[in-house]
Homo-oligomer: A and B are copies of this chain.
């Protein structure tokens, strides 16, 4: 998941598109989220005309609560209806309000030197839009996440005529989703999933559990439609699923009668074969509803023989081991599991594959192309694809995070100055207060543990007063290892003796103890715990 944020700038105006969060990478221990670094924007606050959100996924809106408070008050945030609803919900959790304004296909926004129009496209969340941005140097087609689904489960298919019409007006630059540029063909339509659900529910003799991204409303709809046909009551399990479903019903994206549903408490009134559970936690997140159910820690809900769990989801890289562990444990409980490694049709992506992406290129006919929304290898794959579609390699600009692209009125494009951006990490309530030093410490603590040494030194004699105290955490149990403890204390005494001088220099003593023990621990245990000497002068 990439923390999407794009900035369009003229000499007078700035337009911000999307404001997402990213997941932390593995070595960002304990970090919850990563948000865009907006130092550049803060220095140009007065130029910012608006934020526009392309759709309601977290990697496009999740940064709002952290970033809006740093931008001008009342800055308009334009978004499609569903993204407005989700943003509102998110901001309310933080006690924040924003100047949220709804856009639709008819909207035309005049924002300083920018004129923005919208084209509705298909994706894995309702109300996803591409932006057509008229600028002083030409038209920019901003194609955030999409696929060309001709038979969407909710809403209309992408209006390809409109894209062709924009292409005819002349597109200077196309920014396009590239996440699945490695994959051949078209991404299959969402409607395909219904066959799969139908087949799997028919052969299910127990509870039918479906787990997917909670924001994938149309997937939920399909699972509910199928359950209705099979006379199964639907139970929503997990906060994110409940929240999204309730909002979708309120806003009439979904319109199911309450009689289709059962509350969790009422489940015992139904036989397992009369129940479908829509469960949050498809990425194997610790503490999620599915994780707890499988661990036997969820009130009232257990996996039993005959139950079937459908993982209708992609594995986000880094989550594989957690997901596989869940699958193994469901099998151990006697449940059946349907997942992508054994059934290819159990999930379809919301992102276009090579044919979707290629078709957009040929419809928009841009002079320049910039792949966005993927990692560097996806951008390279997009570049390869563009070559196959008849573009020149040089027309595709690979811009890494923080890099700028300059377009001029002669229609030229070049990579401009790189803006220094840091990874702003959100750790619990702290935003940006966990930096690289803290992370490095956490990495050492995680792999090697810590040894705290407390000694008292006599201010007059400069000698050791009493016995050194040695406390370990995450290192071997030193108290169960008397030999190691004895040697450690001897090393400490030795370090104190060696540093005894005319003046008591605690910094020197501390450093000496640290060196001595680090070497000693590595030699005797092969480990390099963090050594923290504390000196008390008495």
- Chain A contact residues, CB within 8 Å of chain B: 25-26, 29-30, 182, 317-318, 320-322, 324, 327-329, 331-332, 337, 341-342, 375-377, 379-381, 400, 427-430, 433-435, 437-438, 441-443, 445-450, 452, 454, 456, 469, 471, 473-477, 481, 524-527, 530, 532, 534, 536, 538
Contacts and interface: CB of A to CB of B under 8 A. Distances in A.
Given A328-B375, A474-B438, A321 B26 contact: yes
B527 A428 contact: yes
The DSSP consensus for interface residues of chain A is: mixed
Given A376-B331, A532-B471, A536-B536, A449 B438 contact: yes
A475 B377 contact: no
Contacts of A379: 331
A447 B442 contact: yes
B377 A25 contact: no
Contacts of A318: 320-321
A337 B380 CA distance: 10
Contacts of A25: 321
A433 B477 contact: yes
Contact of A525 (B375, B429, B538): B429
B449 A30 contact: yes
A429 B526 contact: yes
Given A445-B450, A469-B534, A471-B534, A377 B331 contact: yes
A426 to B, nearest CB: 10
Given A317-B320, A429-B525, A526-B429, A474 B445 contact: yes
Contacts of A474: 29-30, 438, 441-442, 445
The 10 closest A-B pairs by CB, nearest first: A428-B526, A446-B446, A30-B447, A429-B526, A445-B445, A328-B376, A442-B474, A441-B474, A29-B446, A441-B473
A297 to B, nearest CB: 17
Contact of A450 (B381, B433, B447, B473): B473
A473 B454 contact: no
B476 A536 contact: no
Given A450-B450, A532-B452, A475 B324 contact: no
A465 to B, nearest CB: 9
Contacts of A437: 477
A381 B30 CA distance: 36
18 contacts: A25-B321, A26-B322, A29-B447, A30-B527, A182-B342, A320-B320, A328-B377, A430-B525, A430-B526, A441-B449, A442-B446, A442-B447, A445-B446, A452-B532, A471-B532, A471-B534, A473-B532, A536-B536
A428 B522 CA distance: 9
Of A322, A447, A524, the most chain B CB neighbours within 10 A belong to A447
A29 B26 CA distance: 12
A448 B332 contact: no
A411 to B, nearest CB: 26
Contact of A337 (B320, B377, B454, B481): B377
Contacts of A327: 377
A309 to B, nearest CB: 12
Contacts of A29: 446-447, 474
A511 to B, nearest CB: 15
Nearest to A339: B377
B30 A438 contact: no
Contacts of A321: 25-26, 317-318
